Amino acid sequence: MSNSTIKIIPAIDIIEGKCVRLSQGDYNQKKVYNENPLEVAKSFEDHGIEHLHLVDLDGAKSAKVINYAVLEKIAGQTNLKIDFGGGVKSDEDIKKVLESGANHVTAGSIAVKNPETVYRWIQDFGPEKIILGADVRDRKIAINGWKEDSGLELFEFLEKFTERGVSTSICTDISKDGMMSGSSIELYSAILEEFPDLQLIASGGVSSMEEVIELQGKGLFGAIVGKAIYEGQISLIDIANFYK
């Protein structure tokens, strides 16, 4: 895989230890796809996928990490490079998540509400361990499982953390997430124009391999794909062929 090839990053979202998907972050619009997330992760690895976005939705809701066991299993039984998010709020949480096998931690709500904590994590664990989670509605950052609008402007948020050395950000357009209606390519282009060195990962609405190729052409570092895989719009064989 060359450095310029976009990284296709499947998402596994966890509720009660099961692999689920929500629509627009709504816990009432939950669909269980597999009772065994490890099985799902292994099937990704079998198709040449190297990266995984693992989200503890129980953790996001309760403001502390809940599903450590799922992370430990996947990290222990695959070679996937895992970025983990959802409920990482304390020093204890981030230490345990990294000890449990995550390669990176996604800092979202905590980076908005308590930036000093994340600045300290950047210093203690290294900026390469922190991925900035920018969940966006109308270019404003949303927090707490997308239930709350922080009022913080997206570009202001990105600037604060890139100045501290963070080089990677997952940007999710909430209006697109789980809808399989296409991602916010215009928004991503605008971000990369302003932050050309940012390793930007698209999230929300990615629904076809054609779109993945379009995102690659715009200079995106990665694309998180969730429901499109689980609903069969993007097959694992398509992904495997993309990397050949």
Q: What is the pLDDT of residues 162-179, one digit of tens each?
A: 999 999 999 988 876 555
Rounded CA separation 136/154 (Å): 7
Pairing of strands 104-107, 130-137: parallel
DSSP for residue 57:
H
Q: Name the active-site residue from 13, 58, 83, 93.
A: 13
Local confidence band at 54 (pLDDT 50, 70, 90 cut-offs) = very high
Tell me what pLDDT residue 1 has: 42
Looking at domain 7-242, its CATH superfamily turns out to be Aldolase class I (3.20.20.70)
Q: Name the active-site residue from 58, 135, 173, 177.
A: 135
Known catalytic membership, residue 13 = yes
Q: What is the pTM of this model?
A: 0.92
Any idea what the Cα angle at residue 201 is, between residues 199 and 205, rounded to 5°?
Answer: 160
What are the residue boundaries of the structural domains of the chain, listed by start? 7-242
CA-CA distances (angstroms) from residue 115 to 95, 158, 193, 200, 242? 17, 12, 24, 20, 38
Residues 6+ apart with CB under 8 A from 190: none
Known catalytic membership, residue 93 = no
Tell me what pLDDT residue 2 has: 43
Is the pLDDT at 205 greater than 80, yes or no? yes
State pLDDT tens for residues 84-113.
999 999 999 999 999 999 999 999 889 999
